[in-house]
Structure 1
Amino acid sequence: MQKLKSFILESYDEMKNKVTWPKYSELQRNSVLVLVASLIFALLIGLMDYAFQTSMDLFYDAF
């Protein structure tokens, strides 16, 4: 039980005093960047899926 208590106290101390937390503006800017990159990636995957499905439909309609 003492090891668990020690672990929790040391973890709390590290999170409070040793971790460098980002400022709110930096966090907000990075969140927007991730959102935009995710949307672009989703659009690219969607376009690739549409192109593949269209090409497969054309192929199967030929037979």
Structure 2
Amino acid sequence: MSKFGSYIQEAYDELVHKVSWPSWEELQQTTIIVLVSLIIVTAVIFGMDVVSERVLTLLYNLLGK
């Protein structure tokens, strides 16, 4: 068997027999945690962007155009 074929066979064997896959419930829970975290981080970055834009606009207006 070629090196590539051996690699594919070993990779398949590892994925099927050695990898510990999460249960359906664990998958759903971690997916929800990731999505909620994503929404929170997005909101924080959006808030920081809005605040920095307003602060910079205020500074530009105070210092002259």
Shorter-chain TM range is: over 0.9
Partner of 1:20: 20
- Aligned equivalents of 1:11, 1:47: Cα separation in 2: 45
TM-score (norm 1): 0.94
Count of residue correspondences:
63
What's the Cα RMSD here?
1.0
- Aligned equivalents of 1:54, 1:5: Cα separation in 2: 59
Structure 1 consecutive aligned stretches of length 4 or more whose deviation exceeds 4 Å: none
The answer for unaligned runs of 5 or more in structure 2 is none
The answer for unaligned runs of 5 or more in structure 1 is none
- Aligned equivalents of 1:48, 1:10: Cα separation in 2: 48
Q: Identity over aligned residues, as a percent?
A: 38
